[in-house]
């Protein structure tokens, strides 16, 4: 995915127009517009507002990578929602970029909402990490 900040004004206008058409044609009785997936409960933080009941390590009952791919397949069959990957802190999953790349490969628009821990803030910025993700895909980032 391309980040809107890097688009020319004509490209941004074209994306907004395509978005407007998609919204006009959407039937939300059949499929959601946005789908949030709490991919893990693992998180280094313990925020009072967090509904994920964060814990220091991943829950052993979380989906495996292959199960995550099957879920993405099911989401794609349902329609074309924006997939917001959140948690806990999704960056605590070692297979995160593989899962995001698969979602994009299947045609979903993926957004990532990590916590603002060292996993995000150290080293290269989120945009650089996104550019280096498997398949060279970019993702939109929002920090909690």
How many CB atoms lie under 10 A from the CB of residue 139?
A: 23
Spell 11-31 as b/e; 16+ CB within 10 A means b: eeeeeeeeeeeeeeeeeeeee
What's the predicted TM-score (pTM) here? Answer: 0.70
Give me the pLDDT at residue 39, please.
94
Please name the residue that has the structure tokens 């391309």. Answer: 2
Lowest mean pLDDT among 2-6, 43-47, 82-86: 2-6
Query: At 74, which helix (H) or strand (E)?
Result: helix 65-78
C-alpha 89/C-alpha 9 separation (Å) is 33
Give the SS3 label for residue 6: helix
pLDDT in tens, 72-82: 999 999 888 89
pLDDT in tens, 19-53: 788 778 878 888 888 999 999 999 888 877 777 67
């Amino acid at each position: 995915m391309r980040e809107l900040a890097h688009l020319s004004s004509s490209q941004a206008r074209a994306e907004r127009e395509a978005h407007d058409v998609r919204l006009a044609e959407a039937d939300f009785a059949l499929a959601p517009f946005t789908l949030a997936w709490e991919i893990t409960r693992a998180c280094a933080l313990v925020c009072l507002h967090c509904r994920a009941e964060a814990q220091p390590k991943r829950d052993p009952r979380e989906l495996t990578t292959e199960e995550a791919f099957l879920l993405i397949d099911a989401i794609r069959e349902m329609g074309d929602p924006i997939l917001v990957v959140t948690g806990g802190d999704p960056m605590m999953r070692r297979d995160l970029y593989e899962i995001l790349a698969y979602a994009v490969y299947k045609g979903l628009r993926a957004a990532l909402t990590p916590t603002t821990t060292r996993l995000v803030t150290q080293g290269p910025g989120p945009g650089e990490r996104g550019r280096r993700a498997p398949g060279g895909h970019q993702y939109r980032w929002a920090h909690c």
